[in-house]
Amino acid sequence: MTKNTPNAPRSALVSCAIAAIFALAPLAPPAPPARAELEIDITQGNVDPLPIAVLSFQIASDLKRAPDAQLSLEEEELLEQEANMAQEIRDVIAGDLKRSGLFKLLNPEIFAEKPDQIGEIPRFADWRAIKADAIIVGNIAPRADGSWNVSFRLWDTYAEEQMIGFQYVATLLNKRRIGHIIADAIYQRLTGESGYFNTRIVFVEETGPKNNRVKRLSIMDQDGYEPQPLTDGEDLVITPRFSPTLQELTYVSWVDSVARVHLHNVTKNIHEIVGDFKGMTFAPRFTPDGNHLIMSLARGGNTDLYKMRLGTRELQPLTNTAAIDTAPSYSPDGKYIAFESDRGGSQQIYVMSADGTNVRRITFGEGAYGTPVWSPRGDLIAFTKTYQGRFLIGVIRPDGTGERILTSGYHNEGPTWSPNGRVILFFRDTPGEQGGPSIWSVDLTGYNEQKLSTPGFASDPAWSPLLEGSDAPS
């Protein structure tokens, strides 16, 4: 059973390939190292943000160079387009770096050199004088086919050398993506870990009163840009999750008052109910290879875990207890499954082998533990903990050691990891008749808690893997 989405998203999840990216050779011969190379240790919670200057991207257009030129209306429009693009790409980069909490963005008013006057080699001493450890200089130049070459260089002002420089082809459609890709490249160069800015977030947009909430699936860029509805709100929807291939989402929606696992194909833009089960199905997630779903299936009022091959819809039972077994999540290597169960009398997190054997409980602290989500790095499991009337987000090692709480409050729930395993999104609900959820992020260090901007109430965030084009060229 399929149906078309009434509100088609304006652009597919993976819209167009990022073409012709190449590295820019250093402009200056490397100076003898003046000090240890610039780097940021992101494992520290109290890291000093790195002072960085992100200059406005300059337009290398012939039109602009002739001050007394008579420009046609078309040429004027093109100039304005280019100016907007240059500004938007710069702002996307600056926004990503700032929100990461690892950078202190310097005020353009104190910049040592004006973006339109900076030479091929920056005057490093002047930048050091205003305490800029690094500067980002970029250009955009029109191409014959109507697209633009966008290039940037990241300079280390103390070592007086270029750390990286890349060039990309940008269009009006992918300009923000190019900005995120550049921010990822800078993050990766300075932290040694892959970034997470060129990603999207699927979530549930909530409107209406608490006793009659309308819930729609919605998708937006990681920085909150342009949420687009994926469902019309007629049916209640919860718990969307990405396929590792990015082409599909799975979520739960009610059909004839029974909750059922659905698939949403992003490229074809269709929704589909998964399987024809008598009982309720819920808590779906993809296997790391994207070929199966793992989920809860309720039979006779009891909830167990099953794995389903998407191609054949063949079902494999993984648990068989009288308890609630739900919220399964695979380790990234696909060898283990974390899930929650109340088989021991209260809601706790368990880990088992992928075939359902070797089940062991990993949470023994006071309170209840649920919603385990395995980090993409494999080293930690994020969870929601309920303790003394509060809801906490925390992480624990798969062997049950090292429990650490990242945030707590009236209601925090549903962690989801950035693809590099350094940041967690979750939703926070506020109490009362007028209360409602919003999406927040917190670093794995427990610092840098921030609210994401959404048009209204928002819950159940799911963070996508890195989108196409994020791998830096070597």
Partner 1 sequence: MSHSRSVLAIGFSCALLLTTAACGSLLGGGGFSGSMGKDFDQFDFGSLTSPKDMARFLVVNVGDRVFFEKNSSRIKISARDIVEQQVKFLNKNPSATITIEGHCDERGTREYNLALGLRRATALRDAMVASGMDASRIQVASYGKERPVAGCSRERCWKVNRRSVVVINGAS
Would you state the structure tokens that stand for residue 335, as one six-digit string? Answer: 């060898």
- Considering only residues 389, 399, 401, 474, which one is a binding residue for partner 1 as defined by CB under 8 A? 389
48 touching partner 1, by CB under 8 A: no
One-letter amino acid at 330 equals Y
* Shortest spacing between CB 42 and partner 1, in angstroms: 29
> Which residue in the set 370, 394, 419, 469 belongs to the binding site for partner 1 (CB under 8 A)?
370
- Find the binder of partner 1 among 413, 420, 438, 462 (CB under 8 A): 413
| Interacting positions 96-155 with partner 1 (CB under 8 A) | none
User: Rule CB under 8 A: is residue 311 a binding residue for partner 1?
Assistant: no
Whose CA is closest to 11, among 196, 244, 269? 269
Q: Which DSSP string do the residues of 283-295 spell out, in sequence order?
A: EEEE-TTSSEEEE
CB of 227 or CB of 414, closer to partner 1: 414
Burial class of 262 by CB neighbour count within 10 A (0 to 12, 13 to 18, 19+):
buried
Nearer to partner 1, 51 or 387 (CB): 387
Among 20, 110, 129, 258, binds partner 1 (CB under 8 A): 258
DSSP 33: P
Q: Quick one: 240 or 421, whose CB is closer to partner 1?
A: 240
Q: Shortest gap between Cβ of 389 and partner 1 (angstroms)? A: 8
Cα separation, 191 vs 103, whole angstroms = 11
Name 452's Cβ contacts closer than 8 Å, sequence gap at least 6: 201, 224, 425, 438, 439, 440, 441, 458, 461
Q: Does 283 bind partner 1 (CB under 8 A)?
A: yes
Interface of this chain with partner 1, residues 313 to 332, rule: CB under 8 A: 324, 326-327
| Residues in region 443-472 near partner 1 by CB under 8 A | 460
Strands (E), 318-400: 325-330, 336-341, 348-353, 360-361, 368-374, 381-387, 390-396
Site size for partner 1 (CB under 8 A): 44
Instruction: Report how far apart the first and last C-alpha atoms of the chain are (Å, whole number).
Output: 46
Residue 89 or 259: the one with the smaller Cβ distance to partner 1 is 259
Instruction: Give yes or no for residue 418 binding partner 1 (CB under 8 A).
Output: no
Chain-centroid distance of CA 49 in Å reads 21
Distances (CA, A) of 400 to 1, 53, 428: 42, 43, 25
Residue 423 and residue 411 in contact, taking contact as beta carbons nearer than 8 Å? no
Asked if residue 213 binds partner 1 (CB under 8 A), the reply is yes
Shortest Å distance, C-beta 315 to partner 1: 18
* 433 binds partner 1 per the rule CB under 8 A: yes
CB 415 within 8 A of CB 459: no
Instruction: Choose the binding region for partner 1 from 64-72, 103-111, 295-303, 313-321 (rule: CB under 8 A).
Output: 295-303
Q: What's the CA gap between 84 and 98, in Å, rounded? A: 21
Instruction: Select the span of 55-63, 82-90, 91-99, 430-438 touching partner 1 (CB under 8 A).
Output: 430-438
Cβ–Cβ under 8 Å, residues 151 and 1: no
Output 130 or 238, the one with its CB closest to partner 1. Answer: 238
Interface residue with partner 1, options 56, 218, 303, 454 (CB under 8 A)? 303
Sites of contact with partner 1 (CB under 8 A): 209-213, 215, 236, 238-239, 252, 254, 257-259, 280, 282-283, 296, 298, 300-303, 324, 326-327, 340, 342, 347, 370-371, 384, 386, 389, 410-411, 413-414, 429, 431-433, 435, 460
